[in-house]
Amino acid sequence: MNFDHSPKVQELCRRLTCFMDDHIIPRIRQHHDDIAAGIFPVSFVDDLKQLAKSEGLWNLFLPDLKADEGGAGLTNLDYAPLAEIMGRVSWAAEIFNCSAPDTGNMEILHMFGTGAQKKHWLAPLLAGKIRSAFAMTEPDVSSSDATNIQTIIRRDNANYIINGRKWFISNAAHPNCKVMIVMGKTDPDNADRHRQQSMILVPMDSAGVTVERNIPIMHHHSPEGHCEITFRDVCVPTGNILGGEGDGFMMAQARLGPGRIHHCMRSIGQSELALDLMVERALERKAFGKYLHQHGAVSEWIARSRMEIDQARLLVLKTADMIDKVGAKSAAKEISMIKAVVPKMQTVIADRAMQVFGAMGISPDTPLADIWTWGRALRYADGPDEVHLRTIARLEIGESRNSPGATLPYLTPPLRT
């Protein structure tokens, strides 16, 4: 494993950092104030997107996308430090057309879309003209297990008719969100539980689609939304099916591999920011005659945070490298490992930083409460921790089963006479 970034990636990191310093970080306050005043989409976002595009800082996430298709030709390993830089500001990834859930949806369309689907939906997504949502989770069933979902996609001659209820659908309240990839069942009685599901493209303005509410996350209200949506006899042409009938489960797996790693890369950036804030505060504030960093508890939090971030980053880089070299399927254990490690680490480090800030730490005057909340949310989004731990244990145990008795020479039981 060689984690040195190539000269091309180092140069992109430099340019991205300059863009963040010049155009994004100075606008954090205005973004915050616009959202608080109910101005959404924020006025300058489209201008910044155009600027980022003109500077070639655009669609950096998609490894298979060639330059003439609008991609940057970067591997997952190349993309990791760039996502980390973007991660420091919660809304920055969108400026570079690298934000979820659009990135995962673009990957699905890129991998499985027909020519017509690519022209209609992928091209405007890659150009940043529209946004999208991904609708899998349902209120009535445990959606960690995608075989449980109940939304029905029924064939009716040249159309499909969709009925169901979804919730926590990110981005669905964004005024530019024009399309959803909806997961439902086309063949609920198939004996193979992993062939019952399909994915279908549903325009947001289809008759029968109703955004019932935007659900706040803790007390945080995202204007782009995590929405509850009902589908009542929604009718779309058969040409909207992605892949084929029964391919939904397989495509969900394909979508989540890279998506999970992108979240984790950005989380490393957010954790670094939390640590930076913690250290600066500890250097400037005094209690009981000493600077905060001179108190043992605080210096231990700083040290532990540094160690945890560096460990997590190495695991993320290793995972990115594996996805590039052997594919997401063979990197399943590593993908689950980073997904179980990184969001939790983000909440732990944000929690320490909030403590160092005193009461201010849980106010909106620092980004720490948002960093904590997003880390907490990521412990569910793209699969809860426990499901990932189960995957890791299953794969680890499977490997051990392949070499029974390998540890026997290490055992030294007393000889029986």
In the bound state with ligand FAD, the residue whose beta carbon lies nearer, of 70 and 101, is 101
In the bound state with ligand FAD, the residue whose beta carbon lies nearer, of 265 and 279, is 265
In the bound state with ligand FAD, the residue whose beta carbon lies nearer, of 51 and 141, is 141
Long-range contact set of residues 38-45: C-beta below 8 Å, sequence gap at least 24 = 40/175, 40/223, 40/224, 41/174, 41/175, 41/176, 42/91, 45/91, 45/94, 45/95
In the bound state with ligand FAD, the residue whose beta carbon lies nearer, of 248 and 383, is 383
Q: Which of 70, 81, 87, 101 binds ligand FAD (CB under 6 A)?
A: 101
CB 92 within 8 A of CB 24: yes
**Angstrom distance (rounded) from CA 248 to CA 186:** 9
Shortest Å distance, C-beta 131 to ligand FAD? 12
3-state secondary structure of 160: strand
Shortest Å distance, C-beta 88 to ligand FAD? 19
CB atoms within 10 A of CB 207: 10
Instruction: Report residue 115 as tokens.
Output: 């020519």
Could you say which residues in the range 352-391 bind ligand FAD, by CB under 6 A? 377, 380-381, 383-384, 386-387, 390
If one asks whether residue 347 binds ligand FAD (CB under 6 A), the answer comes out as no
**Angstrom distance (rounded) from CA 101 to CA 79:** 17
3-state secondary structure of 136: coil
Task: Tell me the H-state helices in 285-330.
Answer: 296-326
Shortest Å distance, C-beta 139 to ligand FAD? 8
In the bound state with ligand FAD, the residue whose beta carbon lies nearer, of 139 and 237, is 139
Instruction: Report residue 164 as tokens.
Output: 């169901």
In the bound state with ligand FAD, the residue whose beta carbon lies nearer, of 78 and 107, is 107
Q: Which of 27, 31, 88, 226 binds ligand FAD (CB under 6 A)?
A: 226
Q: How many residues bind ligand FAD (CB under 6 A)?
A: 21
Q: Which of 170, 240, 346, 347 binds ligand FAD (CB under 6 A)?
A: 170
In the bound state with ligand FAD, the residue whose beta carbon lies nearer, of 217 and 315, is 217
In the bound state with ligand FAD, the residue whose beta carbon lies nearer, of 13 and 387, is 387
Shortest Å distance, C-beta 376 to ligand FAD? 8
Shortest Å distance, C-beta 399 to ligand FAD? 20
Cα–Cα separations (whole angstroms), residue 39 to 44, 101, 132, 185, 369? 11, 22, 20, 38, 22
Shortest Å distance, C-beta 251 to ligand FAD? 13
Shortest Å distance, C-beta 255 to ligand FAD? 11
Q: Which of 168, 231, 249, 301 binds ligand FAD (CB under 6 A)?
A: 168
In the bound state with ligand FAD, the residue whose beta carbon lies nearer, of 142 and 400, is 142
**Angstrom distance (rounded) from CA 86 to CA 394:** 34
Backbone conformation region of residue 214, classed left if phi is above 0, alpha if psi is from -120 to 50, else beta: beta
Shortest Å distance, C-beta 373 to ligand FAD? 9
Query: In the 3-class helix/strand/coil scheme, how is 355-404 assigned residue by residue?
Result: HHCHHHHHCCCCCHHHHHHHHHHHCCCCCCHHHHHHHHHHHHHHHHHCCC
Q: Are strands 177-185 and 226-237 parallel, antiparallel or unpaired?
A: unpaired
Cβ-based neighbours of 49, under 8 Å, separated by 6 or more: 94, 95, 97, 128
Residues 125-144: x where in contact with ligand FAD by CB under 6 A, - otherwise, as a string: ---------xxxx----xxx
Q: Are strands 177-185 and 131-135 parallel, antiparallel or unpaired?
A: parallel
Where do contacts with ligand FAD occur on this chain (CB under 6 A)?
Answer: 101, 134-137, 142-144, 168-170, 217, 226, 377, 380-381, 383-384, 386-387, 390
